Amino acid sequence: MMGQKQLQSSPQLRLVMAVAIAFWVICVVLVLQRYFNFYPTYVSFDQGIFNQVFWNNLHGRWFESSLSSTESSSVMQGELPNVAYRRLGQHFTPALLLWLPWYALFPSAAGLSVLQVTLVTAAGLVLYALARHYHPPDLSALMAVSFYGAIAVISPTLANFHDICQMPLYLFGLLLALEKRRGWLVGVLAILTLLVREDSGVVLFGIGFFLAVSRRAPRIGIGLCVLSLGYMLAVTNLVMPLFSQDVSKRFMIEQFGQFVNSDQASTLDVIRGILSNPGRLLVEVVMPFDRTFRYLLGQWVPLMFIPVISPSAWLLAGFPMLKVLIQREDITALSLHLRYAMTLVPGLFYGAILWWQAHPQFWRSRFRRLWIGCIILSLFFTITSNPNRVLSFAIPDSFQPWVYVSPPRQWQHSQAIRSLLAQIPADASVTATDHIVAHVSSRREVLRFPMQRLQNDRQKTQRVEYAIADLWYLQQYQPAFADYRKSLKEAAEAIDQLQTRRYGVVDFQDGVVLLQWKAADDPTALAGWTAYRRGVTE
């Protein structure tokens, strides 16, 4: 992409490349150390889902996942998980197939984390090229550096693998192709963006809306609006229901149920509900006010708050911002650490690029220093928030009460987990606690603990052969987190129930228990588990 002569002649380009390399190396080291040391995160389970989907794709079983099945509306209503369940009924993500060759080379959940970091790093380089179309090298370099320093970029990159990590690369590429008048490439990248997820058309619609309203490219803008809206409606109402009813029975209700008066709804029902209730829409946009305000501040800080005064940024990011702000699950939607935060990034950064084009007179040294200070502030907030627990080896998870596990102790615990995992055959069915699921997800039959029954490929009900549960980490963090105390109690009770269902305790190490279907209890393991069980529940 960038030749040796360009690097030698442009110190700003060398700076961007150095920052990009540092970003890639640091992020890869952090995500791999968290993965191999079994640090639990809010969405540890999702890493297992994506890995199993890729693993099944690699074996020709397109988008099937027993783990994803456990999240389906049918299972929530009492049916059993099914190994042949296709995740396309929950999220329509055909763009993942583009990265199947990568997975074939690095077939593991860890390989997906490296892929995510690589895609986001590449997006920053495309952003620099996009900025250079309008601006001199120094401003363009600072734009790219602010991308690598943004909390809404760093934190989702350090999260477990998610499909949205593709979007900045595609959208920055689309905008650059638009500026270069490469119509065919605009079309290709628009289609790739739509194929990321069933709702990624919201971001593309925002870009089309901006192009039409600003009259920069009205025909292309209208075309993108029609394409994205038509695609989203067709996929969610016609295609996804062919695989399952989850989009109407689960996701629309969980995210936008406040706008409908039913226990299931289509995207059309939600749109009608939003348009017919503007008062409720306004309340959802601003409330909860404190979380909304902090969320927007986090998005604006690395760009020196330029998006606040940039009409282009509001037009470009307005629709994905609206979608995030009105989601009922504000804990996940209004988190700068999770994937949804990344959907606003392309619009905000492109809007900032266009603002600087219209106001070149403000590009002075004092603004450079202020911008650098904002990037440093963004990095400070990112590091101190311990994004997705990648810094738990250095930062306590709680100060009052004190909760901190040293790296040697965490390593010792991870060795115990590996010792137990080594006893599970590669093709055996297994149920595992969330932060272990990803490590056993490269197989056909795997569930989320404490589930232990599923329907196999012959559509027969069977119990999994192995169950592995880590209670140690729940015990460590339960003094500070009430939900961990509840989970610890429930996990212990679930193991008791498994024992009554002919699961034998075959090994126990450091708060991690391994059970096997129809196996005799190992006396030493059973004694260790019994003593531990008594200690954690007293």
Predicted confidence band at 538 (pLDDT cuts at 50, 70, 90)? low
94 inside domain: no
pLDDT digits (tens, 9 = 90+) for 237-270: 999 999 998 888 888 888 888 888 888 888 888 8
CB neighbours (10 Å) of residue 400? 7
Mean pLDDT of 36-49: 88
24 inside domain: no
Indicate whether 408 and 381 sit together in one domain.
Answer: no
Q: Do residues 21 and 7 lie in contact, with contact meaning Cβ atoms separated by under 8 Å?
A: no
Indicate whether 236 and 318 sit together in one domain.
Answer: yes
196 inside domain: yes
Strand-strand pairing, 402-403 and 398-399: antiparallel
Tokens of 129: 């090229």
Domain closes at, from 385, 413, 447: 385
81 inside domain: no
Indicate whether 332 and 461 sit together in one domain.
Answer: no
Mean pLDDT of 70-99: 94
Provide the residue range defining the domain that includes 428: 403-537
- Residue 508's SS3 state is strand
Our measurement of the distance from residue 468's CA atom to the centroid of its chain's CA atoms, rounded to an integer in Å, reads 25
- State the total domains in the chain: 2
Reply yes or no on whether the pLDDT at 36 is more than 70: yes
The residue assigned the tokens 């589930």 is 451
Mean pLDDT of 175-200: 95
Beta bridge partners of 430: 446, 466
pTM, rounded to two decimals: 0.94
Predicted local confidence at residue 364, as pLDDT = 77
Indicate whether 217 and 270 sit together in one domain.
Answer: yes
Beta bridge partners of 514: 468, 507
Indicate whether 453 and 350 sit together in one domain.
Answer: no
Alpha-carbon distances, residue 275 vs 61, 113, 260, 270, 510 (angstroms): 40, 39, 11, 9, 55
Domain closes at, from 351, 385, 419: 385
Indicate whether 415 and 380 sit together in one domain.
Answer: no
Indicate whether 530 and 410 sit together in one domain.
Answer: yes
Reply yes or no on whether the pLDDT at 356 is more than 90: yes
Indicate whether 436 and 329 sit together in one domain.
Answer: no
93 inside domain: no
The pLDDT > 70 percentage for the chain reads 97
Tokens of 36: 């191999």
Provide the residue type at 171 as one letter: L
List Cβ neighbours of 410 (8 Å cut-off, separation of 6 or more). 37, 38, 39, 392, 393
**How far is 133 from 140, CA to CA, in rounded Å?**
9
Reply yes or no on whether the pLDDT at 230 is more than 50: yes
Mean pLDDT of 451-464: 94
**Is the torsion defined by CA of 219, 220, 226, 229 positive or negative?**
negative
For residue 535, with 0-12 CB atoms within 10 Å meaning exposed, 13-18 middle and 19 or more buried, which class applies? exposed
Mean pLDDT of 390-402: 88
pLDDT digits (tens, 9 = 90+) for 466-477: 999 999 988 888
Predicted local confidence at residue 2, as pLDDT = 52
Reply yes or no on whether the pLDDT at 82 is more than 80: yes
Beta bridge partners of 504: 516
Compute the mean pLDDT over every residue in the chain, rounded to the nearest whole number: 92
First-to-final CA distance of the chain: 62
pLDDT digits (tens, 9 = 90+) for 268-299: 888 888 888 888 888 888 888 889 999 999 99
- The alpha carbon torsion through 171, 177, 181, 183 (nearest 10 deg) reads -70
Reply yes or no on whether the pLDDT at 536 is more than 80: no
180 inside domain: yes
Mean pLDDT of 425-454: 95
**Range ranked top by mean pLDDT from 188-192, 257-261, 392-396:** 188-192
357 inside domain: yes
**How far is 65 from 465, CA to CA, in rounded Å?**
18
Q: Do residues 52 and 66 lie in contact, with contact meaning Cβ atoms separated by under 8 Å?
A: yes
**Range ranked top by mean pLDDT from 37-51, 284-298, 320-334, 514-528:** 514-528
Indicate whether 379 and 493 sit together in one domain.
Answer: no
Predicted local confidence at residue 330, as pLDDT = 59
Predicted local confidence at residue 456, as pLDDT = 94
Indicate whether 334 and 204 sit together in one domain.
Answer: yes
Predicted local confidence at residue 383, as pLDDT = 95
**How far is 311 from 179, CA to CA, in rounded Å?**
19
List Cβ neighbours of 248 (8 Å cut-off, separation of 6 or more). 241, 264, 265, 266
Predicted confidence band at 5 (pLDDT cuts at 50, 70, 90)? low
More confident residue, 329 or 434: 434
Reply yes or no on whether the pLDDT at 365 is more than 80: no
Indicate whether 157 and 205 sit together in one domain.
Answer: yes
Indicate whether 407 and 334 sit together in one domain.
Answer: no
Mean pLDDT of 143-172: 96
Predicted local confidence at residue 258, as pLDDT = 86
Q: Which of 25-34, 202-211, 249-258, 520-529 has the lowest mean pLDDT?
A: 249-258
Beta bridge partners of 508: 513
Predicted local confidence at residue 1, as pLDDT = 47
332 inside domain: yes
Domain closes at, from 357, 385, 413: 385
